Amino acid sequence: MDGTKANTTMMISPRKPRVMLYSSPLIGHLVSMVELAKLFVARGLAVTIVLMDPVYDTGATGPFLAGVSAANPSISFHRLPQVKLLESDHSMIPALAIARHSNPHLRDFLTGASPDVLVVDFFCSAAVDVAAELGIPVYFFNTSGAQILAFIMHLPVLHGKSTRSFREMGEEIVHVPGITSFPATHTIQPLMDRDGASYNAFLNVSLNLFRSQGIIVNTFRSLEPRAMDTILTGLSAPPGLSTPPVYCIGPLIKSGEEEMELAVPMKGYDKEVVEAKEVAKKVKWMMDSKGGKAKPCAGNFIIIVATPSC
């Protein structure tokens, strides 16, 4: 050797930006959140999906996540400890109540994980308080389209215009900028009673949207131009609140590497006649994941192969 020192400097790869995706346990929302995770991974981000441990077992989440993990090793998962719902929570949509009670566990996890960004599902709106406390930028992911987003953003305005519940309004027409007017009776069930826990939780979801750094929507602008233009021009927002940046990234459609088979009871199956409305009812029941559970195919059960996109 000539006595000169060899250059032993090691090149250290820069740390990938870390994104935490906080998903609702509802299977339709979880499927869309996984598709968003794949999109982020493809762009070089380190992604962890944070899951709430539901107090109910749908029978669908476990097999689905196993398939996702096997097909997408770059996506990691973290399950928060299960929480106990209170008696007063029974009148609220379970996912909203679970998210609220999970905040202490989420805070502990995020404190150690130190993510660069937190993306939350609509039903995980309570996490905005934790993100604000820890100084983590938070974005919302709307797994549905722009029209439902326009409605939720405008809910505080509707609330301030009347003291009546939607249920009390009967067939009175509800006008929301950016979407087709509809009879009050067509409002989703959790919003029918303005004094109900779920209604007030949705009001908080709406207000938390305006506390976020941005909203990601599973749609594309030319599909819902009226709703998107209304949102982007601030017409959906309550007075005094500014609309955060809105990003259309859809359509995020589930890829085919995972497939779920569930046995669901069908009225009329024993007579070999199942009406279309019965199928629609049970598919909705399954996708909402409220008490659904895979069962052996016996008696009046029929196998449904589910590959939901939202």
Report whether 19 contacts 119 (CB < 8 A): yes
Write down the catalytic residue from 89, 105, 121, 154. 121
Q: Is 90 a catalytic residue?
A: no
Write down how long the chain is.
310
Q: Which residue has the tokens 């017409």?
A: 235
Write down the catalytic residue from 2, 29, 186, 288. 29
Sign of the Cα torsion 239, 244, 250, 255 reads: negative
Report whether 154 contacts 177 (CB < 8 A): yes
**Amino acid (1-letter code) at residue 17:** P
Q: Is 229 a catalytic residue?
A: no
Report whether 216 contacts 141 (CB < 8 A): yes
E strand segments, the chain: 18-23, 46-51, 75-79, 117-121, 138-142, 173-174, 182-183, 214-217, 246-248, 260-265, 301-306
Q: Which residues pair with 23 in a beta bridge?
A: 51
Q: How far is CA 174 from CA 145, 187, 228, in A?
A: 19, 9, 19
The whole-angstrom separation of Cα 29 and Cα 61 is 11
Backbone Cα Rg of the chain:
22
Q: How far is CA 255 from CA 50, 68, 75, 109, in A?
A: 21, 10, 15, 30
The whole-angstrom separation of Cα 242 and Cα 151 is 16
Q: Catalytic site residues?
A: 29, 121
